[in-house]
Amino acid sequence: MLVVDDERQIVRALRVLLRDAGFEALPAGGVQEALDLAALHAPEAAIVDLMLPDGSGVEICRGLREWTQIPILVLSAVDEEAEKVRALEAGADDYVTKPFGPDELLARLRAALRRAAPAVDEAVLRVGDLEIDLADHRVLRAGEELRLTPIEFALLRTLVRHRGRLLTHGALLLEVWGAAYADDTATLRTHIANLRRKLEAPIPGEEGEPAGARGARLIRTETGVGYRLVG
């Protein structure tokens, strides 16, 4: 795991954390050193600080994305929305704010590694009680078919394919609507709201469950940045 941070204390802590989790850390203190080490050793993932002595973690994200799709987690004390968006659009898979919980960091890292693993093309995807049939454009929840519009289905399909990953407004708009709608966040919010209502509509109670129970919230809002599918 490439670990990029100029604070020795954090590097030491991450090395211990990763070692105990079965990973080996490859430390770097700056942008150029990180890119050179990555080219030499081809790490499985990268944990990158945003503010570095010779530049920004965003530069590392862009540099790595020129030749690899390894998971990249940006780790930073900067909690500003604009910086999060900049890092994600440069190719980061997730953004963790300092101070961070070690268990959460490892969970996010493992989730990113799972998503990056080679996947078998599936005609049917499952998340919780949802079943998404990509070929037939059908969605079932607890066995009941949901009536989604083509845009709602495309949004759900994109979120499911990137399950757990934070997708920016721009990335979703580009994927579902195209470049002409790249700034139309109002349209995106409206369709996300409609999709949520359908995914979370009351369902008949099963034995031992109250009738009218709502479906679990699957689409999480990251305020001002984008959305991620959980579950």
For every residue of 101-136, DSSP letters joined together read -HHHHHHHHHHHHHHHS-----SEEEETTEEEETTT
The confidence score (pLDDT) of residue 180 equals 72
Burial of 168: CB neighbours in 10 Å, binned 0-12, 13-18, 19+: buried
The confidence score (pLDDT) of residue 206 equals 38
Per DSSP, the chain holds a count of helices (H) and strands (E) of 8, 16
* Residue pair 71/45 in contact by the 8 Å Cβ criterion: yes
The confidence score (pLDDT) of residue 121 equals 52
Per-residue pLDDT in tens (0 to 9) along the chain, 231 residues: 999 999 999 999 999 999 999 899 999 999 999 999 998 888 999 999 999 999 999 999 999 998 888 999 998 888 788 888 899 989 898 898 888 899 989 988 988 887 776 554 567 888 888 888 887 888 998 888 998 888 899 899 888 888 888 888 988 888 888 777 778 899 999 999 999 998 886 654 433 333 334 445 789 998 888 998 886
**Hey, which CATH number is domain 2-116, 3.40.50.1370, 3.40.50.300, 3.60.20.10, 3.40.50.2300?**
3.40.50.2300
Q: What is the CATH architecture assignment of 124-229?
A: Orthogonal Bundle (1.10)
Strand order of the β-sheet with 130-133 is 124-127, 130-133, 138-141, 144-146
The confidence score (pLDDT) of residue 35 equals 94
The confidence score (pLDDT) of residue 203 equals 52
pLDDT in tens, 133-183: 887 888 998 888 998 888 899 899 888 888 888 888 988 888 888 777 778
Other residues' Cβ atoms within 10 Å of the Cβ of residue 38: 21
Cα–Cα distance for residue pair 59/64, rounded to 1 Å: 9
Cα–Cα distance for residue pair 165/158, rounded to 1 Å: 11
Cα–Cα distance for residue pair 73/16, rounded to 1 Å: 17
Compute the chain's Rg from CA coordinates.
20
Of 100, 44, 37, residue with least CA distance to 71:
44
Cα–Cα distance for residue pair 10/131, rounded to 1 Å: 42
Of 20, 19, 17, 8, residue with least CA distance to 49:
8
* Residue pair 34/60 in contact by the 8 Å Cβ criterion: yes
Listed in order, the ranges of the chain carrying CATH 1.10.10.10 are 124-229
Q: Report the chain's terminal Cα–Cα distance, integer Å.
A: 26
Of 170, 164, 167, 195, residue with least CA distance to 182:
170
Listed in order, the ranges of the chain carrying CATH 3.40.50.2300 are 2-116
pLDDT in tens, 73-88: 998 888 788 888 899 9
